Amino acid sequence: MSASRLVLDTSAYSRLRDGDDRVVDLLAGCEVVLLPAIVLGELEAGFRAGSRYRENRRVLDEFLSEPFVQTLPVTTGVAARYGALFAALRRSGTPIPTNDLWIAAATLDCAGHLLTFDRHFEHVDSIDVTILANT
């Protein structure tokens, strides 16, 4: 897989933090790494629920300050894609978690390639995605 615009979901960021060589290798081959605002919210929630908030926050801030890392905001374009995805998945009987719908919408809106460990993204036909197996 070669993607110039690699979008990380929460599972991929977490595995990067754990030192998963597959994630590290994929990041090394891309031009820009994108984190949707929804992922930042999920990470913030996880950090606050845990016992190492300051450390996790510091590491995330360092990552976000890298020149090749950008945040994907929720825009009106992302919202329109969210609505279309929601309706399509509901009609097909394959809904996915709400936050993951937003992540998929942001990925589609920026023409990025999503990196995840979550298999339910298989239900989003229009997305360019790599789903890594949990090991």
What is residue 6's three-state secondary structure?
strand
- Do residues 31 and 112 touch, judged by C-beta distance below 8 A? no
Residue 1 clears pLDDT 60, i.e. is over it: no
pLDDT at position 125: 87
Please write the tens of the pLDDT for every residue from 55-110: 999 999 999 999 999 999 999 999 999 999 999 999 999 999 999 999 999 999 99
For residue 57, what is the enclosing H or E element?
A: helix 53-64
Q: How confident is the model at residue 12 (pLDDT cuts 50, 70, 90)?
A: very high
Segment holding 92, helix H or strand E:
helix 76-92
Percent of the chain with pLDDT over 70: 99
Q: pLDDT-based confidence at 3, cuts 50/70/90?
A: confident
Helices (H), strands (E): how many in the chain? Answer: 6, 5
What is the tens place of the pLDDT at every residue in 13-60?
A: 999 999 999 999 999 989 999 999 999 999 999 999 999 999 999 999
- The token duo for 23 is 């994630």
Domains of the chain: 5-131 (3.40.50.1010)
* Residue 2: pLDDT over 80: no
Task: Tell which residue, 71, 83, 65, has the closest CA to residue 110.
Answer: 71
